[in-house]
Amino acid sequence: MSLAQKNKSMRSGVLLAVILTVIGLVFAQVALADSSVRPPGNAISLPEEAGPSNALGQRSDSEIWRDIYGGVVANPSSSTATGQLMQILGDDWRLFRTNYILKYSHWVLLGVIGAIVAFFLIRGRITIRGGRSGKMIARFSMSHRIAHWFLAGSFILMGLSGLIILLGRPLLVPLIGKEANAVMTSAALQGHNLFGPVFILSLLIVTFRFMRGNFFQWADMKWILKGGGLLGGHASSNHYNFGEKTWYWMVVLIGLVMSVTGMLLEFPWLVDTLAWHQISTILHAIGAIILISVALGHAYIGTIGMEGSIDSMLRGEVDENWAKEHHDLWYEQVTGKSAALDETPDASAKEGTS
């Protein structure tokens, strides 16, 4: 084939390609125009004002983004089909959880532990003035003690598993790695969901079993003014002092919030609004940190922090000298005897909380 024939053939091929390209573009434009008028059968037909009808559009970008944030109603006759693409509350929830709860929760717990250690080093153990008398007085029945340890056991399981779920990624991953943390978190989640109803049951039992005597009285105001005996000598109290009553109502009220939010998280189909689940995670985490923090102080005072205190929940009875020193009004009511304390320099120096 001569050079002239080759050039002629090449020009013909280029011309044919251009013609085919133009035809394809025309058909594509027709198809797009047709699809904008008649949407496919499986597509959601939005209201005409929800988007632009020409190249420049009829609505501003800010109006379109407001629809995306707030949701566009796909079916005006339905109250549930909203077609919402974004939920800005979810972003607020994520930021609050990351910037506050995950960032400060472990510092709160470490601060409480540090305060307890410092109190023990400075104040030491609160001993019974004059030692034990050897005479015991009944304080809690068997049902009281069973209810107490039932709640304490379930609370410990829920607290440990909950902390692994909440703080495992920022705290445990650097120590044990992602794989081990994933196994622990999965096991903690299963245990948390399993023992959640058990915690609720034990909370209800404790609420009703310990309610009597836990309402505030005038003697509690005097107890506060004396700082439980740390700010001005002996502070009288009834069967429960102000600190114990406050702890009881914290357990009841915050425990109720924990129970409700926990049920919403474990059974998400109970409500169909995502915002309730997001709020529940926040309240659940905050309530958990508060209860665990105060429980650490309660456990310290009830065991090594105060001599004779643990007897009430192990044996159901306490030494008479302990009762006179910490719950003198209750002691006088039960025994009919005077709870007058012998004031000596050594005894006054050792006086602790009531």
- CA separation for the pair 251, 243 (Å, rounded): 12
Considering the domain boundaries, does residue 262 fall inside one?
A: yes
Considering the domain boundaries, does residue 189 fall inside one?
A: no
- The reply to whether 93 and 50 lie within a common domain is no
Higher pLDDT, 5 or 80: 5
- The reply to whether 11 and 99 lie within a common domain is no
Residue 21's domain spans which residues?
A: 3-70
Mean pLDDT of the chain: 81
Higher pLDDT, 125 or 232: 125
> Which of the listed residues 70, 103, 120 is the one where a domain comes to its end?
70
- The reply to whether 120 and 35 lie within a common domain is no
Spell out the residues 6+ positions from residue 169 whose beta carbon is closer than 8 angstroms to its own. 181, 185
The count of C-alpha atoms lying within 13 angstroms of the C-alpha of 294, restricted to the half-sphere facing its C-beta, is 16
Higher pLDDT, 153 or 10: 153
pLDDT digits (tens, 9 = 90+) for 26-71: 555 554 454 444 444 444 444 544 445 555 556 666 776 666 655 5
Where would I find the beta strands (DSSP E) of the chain?
136-138, 317-319
pLDDT digits (tens, 9 = 90+) for 197-254: 999 999 999 999 999 999 999 999 989 988 887 776 788 899 999 999 999 999 999 9
pLDDT digits (tens, 9 = 90+) for 151-204: 999 999 999 999 999 999 889 999 999 999 999 999 999 999 999 999 999 999
Using a pLDDT cut of 70, give the percent of the chain over it: 70
Q: Tell me which long-range contacts 327-336 makes (C-beta under 8 A, separation of at least 24).
A: 327/237, 327/238, 327/239, 327/240, 327/241, 327/354, 328/234, 328/236, 328/237, 328/354, 329/219, 329/236, 329/237, 329/238, 330/237, 330/238, 330/239, 331/137, 333/238, 334/137, 335/137
- The reply to whether 11 and 122 lie within a common domain is no
Q: Most confidently modeled of 63-77, 81-95, 263-277?
A: 263-277
Considering the domain boundaries, does residue 252 fall inside one?
A: yes
Q: Are 282 and 97 in contact (CB under 8 A)?
A: yes
Residues linked to residue 317 through DSSP beta bridges, in sequence order = 138
Phi then psi dihedrals of residue 317, to 5 deg: -140, 155
Place 77 in a pLDDT band, splitting at 50, 70 and 90: very low
Considering the domain boundaries, does residue 151 fall inside one?
A: no
- The reply to whether 109 and 58 lie within a common domain is no
Spell out the residues 6+ positions from residue 281 whose beta carbon is closer than 8 angstroms to its own. 93, 97, 261, 265
Q: Are 342 and 130 in contact (CB under 8 A)?
A: yes
For residue 141, pLDDT beyond 90: yes
Q: What is the pTM of this model?
A: 0.73
| pLDDT score recorded for residue 339 | 75
Q: Residue 163's closest CA among 117, 94, 92, 109?
A: 109
Considering the domain boundaries, does residue 221 fall inside one?
A: yes
The distance in angstroms from the start CA to the end CA of the chain is 115
| Rounded average pLDDT over 113-120 | 96
What is the domain count for the chain?
A: 2
Place 307 in a pLDDT band, splitting at 50, 70 and 90: very high
| pLDDT score recorded for residue 353 | 41
- The reply to whether 33 and 110 lie within a common domain is no
Residues linked to residue 126 through DSSP beta bridges, in sequence order = 306
- The reply to whether 316 and 220 lie within a common domain is yes
The DSSP letter of residue 227 is G
- CA separation for the pair 53, 279 (Å, rounded): 39
- CA separation for the pair 46, 36 (Å, rounded): 12
Give the pair of three-digit tokens for residue 279: 């709020």
- CA separation for the pair 230, 88 (Å, rounded): 50
Q: Are 351 and 129 in contact (CB under 8 A)?
A: yes
